[in-house]
Amino acid sequence: MNQVIFRELGLVPYKQAWELQEELFADIIAIKRHNKHHPEHSRQSFDYLLFCEHPPVYTLGKSGDLSNLLLDKERLDVLGIEYFKINRGGDITFHGPGQLVAYPILDLAHFFKDISRYMRTLEEIIIRSLRDFGIEAGRLKSATGVWLDPEDPFRARKICAMGVRSSRWVTMHGLALNVNTDLAFFNHIIPCGIADKSVTSMEKELGTPPDMEAVKKSFKKHFEEAFLCQLQEEKTEDEKRH
């Protein structure tokens, strides 16, 4: 069974988490290149799952439209919201406290070489996790992410946004599930560039804030089942020394 290193980052600035992802992503690709050219001295690469929350930030994917950000830089500064143009797929989204942000840094050669299947697998993990809390969710045709009432064009609303980058079958970036998120931040953007659909959260749907740790536990369980892997908590530096 594949082992995936799990790392809980806590509340961390977006740029810091992005740089960490880039570092892990580059390390895996470097090992793959090495192994391709030096099979007699092959090295082991590791897969990772990172959990975190971010201070308020808007991120725009590489094919996104800046006009979907409805604030200028001055207003962003006043509101204390960061903005980054990044190298994932998708358009604009918001990250902030009360979200479960998950960044799988995986070499899909260890699992399955199919990006579409990878995206559908991430969606399925969220769908199953939400079901654990009594929320029925699904997919909206031609739109990535997880939605509630996707079959009803007047009620469809997104609860989880997704956007990834991949190279040589290695993934980075990931998903953001609105758990107890302040949804007012979405009023300043056209989320994912879809103007006629709204955004929701687990708290809004349930009428009470769910326990974030319980949501994380559910996600990890379904992640292990979906990817047929075992998550291993990363040891702290003190634990490694002992």
* Pairing status of strand 92-95 against strand 99-105: unpaired
Output the pLDDT for position 206: 98
The 3-state DSSP class for residue 124 equals helix
Q: What is the pTM of this model?
A: 0.93
Q: What CA–CA distances, in Å, run from 202 to 14, 143, 144, 152, 160?
A: 23, 20, 18, 19, 10
Tell which residue, 1, 24, 11, has the closest CA to residue 234.
24
| Dihedral Cα 160, 167, 7, 138, nearest 10 deg | 20
Per-residue tokens: 52: 């975190």
Chain-centre distance for alpha carbon 134: 22
d(CA 183, CA 126): 19
The mean pLDDT of 200-220, rounded to a whole number, is: 98
Domains of the chain: 2-234 (3.30.930.10)
* pLDDT attached to residue 235: 66
- The greatest distance separating any two alpha carbons of the chain, rounded to the nearest whole angstrom, comes to 59
Average pLDDT for 229-240: 73
Confidence at 200, pLDDT banded by 50, 70, 90:
very high
Distance of CA 102 to the CA centre of its chain: 4
The reported pLDDT for the residue numbered 234 is: 81
pLDDT in tens, 95-154: 999 999 999 999 999 999 999 999 999 999 999 999 999 999 999 988 899 999 999 989
Whether residue 220 is predicted with pLDDT greater than 90 in this model: the reply is: yes
Reduced to 3 states (helix: H, G, I; strand: E, B; else coil), residue 233 is strand
User: Cα separation of 50 and 14, whole Å?
Assistant: 13
Spot the catalytic one: 52, 160, 192, 229.
192
Of the candidates 64, 70, 69, the residue with the CA atom closest to the CA atom of residue 173:
64
pLDDT (tens digit per residue) in 1-21? 899 999 999 999 999 999 999
What pairs with residue 189 in β-bridges? 69
Active site residue 229: no
Give DSSP secondary structure letters for 130-176.
HHTTT---EEETTEEEEEESTT-TTT-EEEEEEEEEEETTEEEEEEE
Which of 39-43, 134-138, 183-187 has the lowest average pLDDT? 39-43
Position 237 pLDDT exceeds 70: no
